[in-house]
Amino acid sequence: MKNIEVQKIIKPVNSSDGAGVKLKRSIGVEPSYYDPFLMLDEFGSENKEDYVGGFPAHPHRGIETVTYMLHGEFEHEDSTGSKGRMKAGDVQWMKTGSGIIHSEMPAMTNGKLQGFQLWINMPSKLKMSKPNYIYINSEEMQTYKDDEKKVKTIAGKFMNAEGPIKGHNIQPIYFDVELKKNKEFNFDLPSTHNSLIYLISGEIKIGEGNHEVIKNSTLILLTQGKNLQLKAGSDSKFLLISGKPINEKIARGGPFVMNTKSEILEAVNDFHNGTFVK
């Protein structure tokens, strides 16, 4: 059994998106792509000026966006007719396929807002498929809990807790893990997958090799292997995300990710010509 070790430790870059929402971006900068993951943002602030502008209506094609809320509420509306309010603990998993126009606006004017958005690439055979919006209420998600840890499963399975996202082409794993000080988290990952940990708070040590101290809001890319061993240096909270690489060339153009530049130009033309939503 090959142990998983730290491949690279990355401190997110302060950035902004939408109508001035302040965020910390890790994937999408360096690395710009960690197949099949295209972007990972942490947004969060107790200052309403950092988030009140939200993400007004904008298009996507060829990707999946996964929004996970920790604190606060967002209102979602899109061109498929889907509409709803995300609250703390909920997940929005959107397969944009051939094209979707959506908005995500804060349903609050004060208090703490915090969450994550992950972009997942779609294989060429699915990029022009029909858009699909999946809303997952936190009450529908299964959680494993013992005296040492709590594992919320969005995708994949931990012990007897299984996430609601199933039958997906990248066979994703998406856990929200809370681990107490000096306790260990052990999990077998598929050796074919690219995997990462995003440390939200606390301090952790990964694997058997030596690496720099990892604390708070840090992305850790992991080596491929099977056995993940992790120990908390303090009470810690982190995301474990893993997926099977797609292994296709990509072309990027803002909110569009396709396989060729000509397909990006087609997406841009469709959007400007009013033929984007199929």
| Residue 45: pLDDT band with limits 50, 70, 90 | confident
Between CA 126 and CA 207 the distance in angstroms is 36
What is the per-residue pLDDT across 127-138, written as a single tens digit (0 to 9) for each?
A: 999 999 999 999
Between CA 266 and CA 98 the distance in angstroms is 11
Which pLDDT score, from 0 to 100, does residue 136 have?
94
User: What number is the average pLDDT over the span 76-99?
Assistant: 93
Whether 80 shows a pLDDT value over 80: the answer reads yes
Whether 30 shows a pLDDT value over 90: the answer reads no
Whether 27 shows a pLDDT value over 80: the answer reads yes
* Domain range summary for the chain, segments of one domain joined by +: 6-273
Percent of the chain with pLDDT over 90: 84
Between CA 90 and CA 85 the distance in angstroms is 9
| Residue 1: pLDDT band with limits 50, 70, 90 | low
User: What number is the average pLDDT over the span 25-51?
Assistant: 93
Residue 100: how many CB atoms within 10 A of its CB?
26
**Residue in 143, 139, 145 with CA at minimum distance from that of residue 156:** 143
Which pLDDT score, from 0 to 100, does residue 140 have?
86
What is the per-residue pLDDT across 109-152, written as a single tens digit (0 to 9) for each?
A: 889 999 999 999 999 999 999 999 999 999 989 999 999 999 99
Q: Among 35-39, 106-110, 253-257, where is mean pLDDT lowest?
A: 106-110
**Residue in 164, 167, 143, 146 with CA at minimum distance from that of residue 155:** 164
Which pLDDT score, from 0 to 100, does residue 90 have?
97
> What tokens appear for 227 in the block?
């056995």
What is the per-residue pLDDT across 203-215, written as a single tens digit (0 to 9) for each?
A: 999 999 899 999 9
Tell me which residue has tokens 């792509």: 33
Which pLDDT score, from 0 to 100, does residue 82 have?
87
Whether 84 shows a pLDDT value over 90: the answer reads no
What's domain 6-273's architecture?
Sandwich (2.60)
User: What number is the average pLDDT over the span 251-277?
Assistant: 95
Which pLDDT score, from 0 to 100, does residue 48 have?
86
Residues 6+ apart with CB under 8 A from 121: 33, 35, 36, 37, 38, 62, 63, 64, 246, 248, 250, 257
pLDDT mean across residues, the chain: 95
Which pLDDT score, from 0 to 100, does residue 99 have?
95
Which pLDDT score, from 0 to 100, does residue 165 have?
95
